Amino acid sequence: MKELFDGAIKFQEDDFEQYKELYQSLEKHQEPHTLFLTCVDSRVVPNLITNSLPGDLFVIRNMGNIVPPYKQDSNFRDGYLATTSAIEYALSILNIKNIIICGHSDCGACGAVYEEEEVLNQAPYVKKWIELLEPVKQKVNNLKPKSKIKQRWLTEQINIEQQLENLMTYPFVEERFDRGELRIYGWYYIISTGQIYNYNMITREFKLINKEKK
């Protein structure tokens, strides 16, 4: 923990001073332009890979960058409120105009859906959460990948597609998107190379983000 305490001191003494005016402007309000929904994996650092500043991103993190499908339930029973309430807040209260769902390589959640039952039983909360990835698993199995590497690669990318579909089940998302008030993106981040691929919803392909394809 020493490095974290030292880091806190460095932030207060050096880094904060560099952006002091920005932090002071954010003291009483936030106006993020993008909702960035990604995995809890420690290797994914949203502000770092987007080169963004404090106040730019409204970040939601969970295992597997999952968007639970919209559920109409007046009593909110069986809902996944931590994620769904944050999505609702981002759009209905903060009036955010962009959403990025960012998956990544070597995703533990995407690998966990193929674990044996006895392994998952050791982590019942994890087991319950990744049940939301069952549609992704079924789509991948239908493609009959010939190796575990191909299986994982397909799962990670199809998962992003699935979460984009889930996102569009929210009425307040679909309405804004249809009116042209909201832009939605799917990103696939390769940890070992730093490459980020953007999903084209029309061609259903991931294309490397570079200067020619911004």
Instruction: Read off the CATH number of the domain in which 113 is found.
Output: 3.40.1050.10
Classify residue 105: in a domain, yes or no. Answer: yes
Mean pLDDT of 98-126: 92
Look at residue 64 in the predicted model and tell me its pLDDT. Answer: 97
Residue 164 tokens read as 């984009």
Q: Is the dihedral of CA 106, 55, 129, 170 positive or negative?
A: negative
How many domains, the chain? 1
- What domain range includes position 207? 30-70+79-213
What is the rounded distance in angstroms from the CA atom of residue 2 to the CA atom of residue 7? 8
DSSP one-letter string for 6-35? HHHHHIIIIIHHHTHHHHHHTSS----SEE
Higher pLDDT, 74 or 43: 43
What is the rounded distance in angstroms from the CA atom of residue 32 to the CA atom of residue 58? 6
Taking residue 184's Cβ as centre, other Cβ atoms within 10 Å add up to 17
Classify residue 5: in a domain, yes or no. Answer: no
Taking Cα atoms as reference points, which of 83, 109, 87 lies closest to residue 99?
87
What is the rounded distance in angstroms from the CA atom of residue 95 to the CA atom of residue 22? 21
Classify residue 83: in a domain, yes or no. Answer: yes
Is the per-residue pLDDT at 138 higher than 80?
yes
Classify residue 125: in a domain, yes or no. Answer: yes
Q: What angle do CA 114, 116, 122 make, to 5 degrees?
A: 115
Look at residue 148 in the predicted model and tell me its pLDDT. Answer: 93
Classify residue 25: in a domain, yes or no. Answer: no
* Amino acid, single-letter form, for residue 156: E
Mean pLDDT of the chain: 92
Classify residue 172: in a domain, yes or no. Answer: yes
Classify residue 199: in a domain, yes or no. Answer: yes
Q: What is the pLDDT of residues 152-187, one digit of tens each?
A: 999 999 999 999 999 999 999 999 999 999 999 999
Q: What is the pLDDT of residues 58-105, one digit of tens each?
A: 999 999 999 999 977 655 555 688 999 999 999 999 999 999 999 999
Look at residue 175 in the predicted model and tell me its pLDDT. Answer: 96
Classify residue 10: in a domain, yes or no. Answer: no
